[in-house]
Chain A
């Protein structure tokens, strides 16, 4: 029986009893030291000399843009159905909306609609652009637009912008000289709904009408009106070519797009991308240093805020919210959270400087609340909290303490929360941090299962931003799911303002209502604005110029949704030989 194997653990023991053990031990030590030293030397040596530079693929011609827009996971599915949440990003370079809205300031550019009027607050009259063709040569008409809306009505899962929550009915009118019109009747006085309905991407009736299941159809061979058509598709990279029949063909100088699937940050820096959308730590040292043409622009895309749960004490008390707001040093928070890329934000919900012209001039300091510890303590005192042994306590002697809920993995938010905790601790307030996974975070804020949460406000169309933030239409009691207004704000006076806004088509009155809504946010603190969330645009000027930037903020630098259409129609090729190449491509 002893012939059978010995259990493994005994092996080591028999080894240590070896007579040569001491000598061997020394040898091992020397070897270890040698290995460690050489490894360290190697690391030190390489660390000094490493400089990551961008190495563009020489086979990519000058009229071709390398675009980090569509991150596969890691393979890409050939899904160009523009309404599915898992579509290819470039589906929105193929399908176009009626109007394109610049999310930085809410300004609209007429697109497949050459214009619109509001005869009254419950009617939108779109003029449908003439002379537009689908990329298969068929003419684009108002009936395509009507077909698209009918499709979204029939398949509500495709209506991702929610157009039919506002529309009652519509009809096409052919008015001869003034062209085809689409007249949309709204469910009631709802003028701002125009900004939502106009975002709908239009698809061709002649190809979509025979689709038995448009809600699961992957639309592998997309035909649209947009500036690009699909070229070669492989699971890890696809290309797009300029649509030669595009209705703005003369404005499109970038002839080809290449969209690879795997675009890690290292890839973005090293592979010579012309356009990318990515937050990059130390952007000067990485992206800018890699190539002389590399530039970045990080404009504000929203206001990152503390969202106090207004249906819970003590946050239902305005004085407590004022105290917290006054206690915060927003410049510090912005700096810590965003590596100083973004600025402190005001308490109006506006994105400055882009929405400067819509700011209520009567609000002090453009709405920016400065840290004022004395005023903060006064506000807290009015709410019944006083400092005692370095702690802020209520009448019963209980310290003011609460948890801030943020999503796990959003590192900038976490850094902001940690800074807030530090600043509030200085006043004697205890802050805990809760970090559920993103889905859990989403569930928590929707159900009101938080004391204070991190969240955003603002961006895009001003009315929609205020409506989502303040309307009691979205109010849900704690435990019930809210789709917006997560802080559970309810004020009849504000509802009247929003209602009036829906009823008016007069720009002057809109401006007045705008001001009043800003004042409501400023004085009632439904959420406490802290700093701007950035849009992380990285671009390269060696092949193309005309990018949006701080001096010419005609579009956000994002690569998704419809605003890239604005960018593509602004970009110019660099250099004369490139122009010649463009002409050759046109002939070919």
Chain B
């Protein structure tokens, strides 16, 4: 119990620090939201003084001293009301996040789970059959693919499978004229559009899980208790799964917790390349537009989800491995 209380205290402290940093960082960026809006407009021609005044009035850029803004911000955090977005004025921040969230969670969240399960299983298999083709093929191709930056993989897939071969749609979350609905047709359409970005994330993240699991597994396979189990004549599969893999999975589990926490913000470039309307793309736009309200809400979501995931892994670790509780 003391372990959990200690972890909880640390969690709250980290959360406060993150929330405060989240408030300060955007304000340290040079230029105001109005400047960003004008910079965007001025690419289409000169922007007059009148336009500047109108935009400033439209955005209602936060006034008051930093402390007032901070208090106001804390109030927003507690009430989860982040006001109106600057870049997408007059849409509200919660409206925007509500639109984008399902896409990211379904796309990145699902793929992260699949990649973890698949990668871990392949890792177990590769370690068990180490030094054969069954080991070399997944290990090598996995590490090969995971060295590519994932936007590069995304661009390659988009170009060859989308533009050259015309197998997949090249952008969007569903067909141009479809509208979201709980129907069979729409689900198929949405899955079809999600396939290519999903493949990108899967290809580039699989290698990490395979290698992590394989190496940890090889470590446990060399341990005395595994040899002991084998000497006792237990079946290979039983030894691999119940003895070796069960212990080897712990570091991978930590990684999985963090990856789940990172789902919210972890797909900026993939979403950018595929024009996928998720949180990552929204985050990108908010930073470009110096959209404080939107940026803060999104960063908060990301920090909180990473922190919560971390906290859960901590607790889980304490349960799985009593040594960490000391």
| Interface residues on chain B, number (Cβ under 8 Å) | 80
Which B residues are in CB contact (< 8 Å) with A313?
Answer: none
Q: Does B224 contact A (CB under 8 A)?
A: yes
Which B residues are in CB contact (< 8 Å) with A270?
Answer: 163
Residue contact B172 to A443, C-beta cutoff 8 Å? no
User: Can you name the residue of chain A whose Cβ is closest to the Cβ of B169?
Assistant: A262
> Besides the contacts A20-B131, A35-B141, what 12 more A-B pairs have beta carbons closer than 8 Å?
A5-B216, A5-B321, A8-B219, A234-B177, A261-B172, A407-B39, A438-B36, A439-B33, A440-B35, A441-B39, A459-B46, A465-B46
Given contacts A216-B90, A236-B172, A264-B171, contact A442 B140 (CB under 8 A): no
Which A residues are in CB contact (< 8 Å) with B174?
Answer: 236
Chain B 17-59 per-residue mask, 1 if CB under 8 angstroms from chain A, else 0: 0000000000001111101111111111110111111110110
Q: Does A552 contact B (CB under 8 A)?
A: no
Which B residues are in CB contact (< 8 Å) with A515?
Answer: none
Chain A 1-23 per-residue mask, 1 if CB under 8 angstroms from chain B, else 0: 01111111011101100101000
Chain B 40-96 residues near chain A, CB threshold 8 A: 40-46, 48-55, 57-58, 87-91
Which B residues are in CB contact (< 8 Å) with A159?
Answer: 50, 54
Q: Does B250 contact A (CB under 8 A)?
A: yes
Which B residues are in CB contact (< 8 Å) with A8?
Answer: 212, 215-216, 219, 251
Given contacts A27-B136, A73-B285, contact A483 B163 (CB under 8 A): no
Which B residues are in CB contact (< 8 Å) with A468?
Answer: 46, 48
Q: Does A162 contact B (CB under 8 A)?
A: yes
Within the assembled complex, what's the spacing in Å between the Cα atoms of A468 and B248?
69
Q: Does A55 contact B (CB under 8 A)?
A: yes
Q: Does A576 contact B (CB under 8 A)?
A: no
Chain A 138-163 per-residue mask, 1 if CB under 8 angstroms from chain B, else 0: 00000000000000000011111110
Residue contact A302 to B277, C-beta cutoff 8 Å? no
Q: Does B323 contact A (CB under 8 A)?
A: yes
Residues of A within 8 A of B (CB): 2-8, 10-12, 14-15, 18, 20, 24, 27-28, 31-32, 35, 46, 50, 52, 55, 73-75, 77, 79, 83-86, 103, 156-162, 165, 196, 215-216, 218, 232, 234-237, 260-262, 264, 266-267, 270, 301-302, 407, 410, 436-444, 446, 456-457, 459-460, 464-465, 468, 474, 483-484, 558, 560-561
Within the assembled complex, what's the spacing in Å between the Cα atoms of A15 and B32?
56
Contact of A7 among B42, B218, B219, B276 (CB under 8 A): B219
Within the assembled complex, what's the spacing in Å between the Cα atoms of A8 and B251?
8
CB distance from A434 to the nearest CB of B (A): 11
Within the assembled complex, what's the spacing in Å between the Cα atoms of A443 and B39?
9
CB distance from B135 to the nearest CB of A (A): 9
Residue contact A162 to B53, C-beta cutoff 8 Å? yes
Residue contact A440 to B215, C-beta cutoff 8 Å? no
Within the assembled complex, what's the spacing in Å between the Cα atoms of A460 and B32?
28
CB distance from A105 to the nearest CB of B (A): 14
Contact of A436 among B30, B41, B250 (CB under 8 A): B30
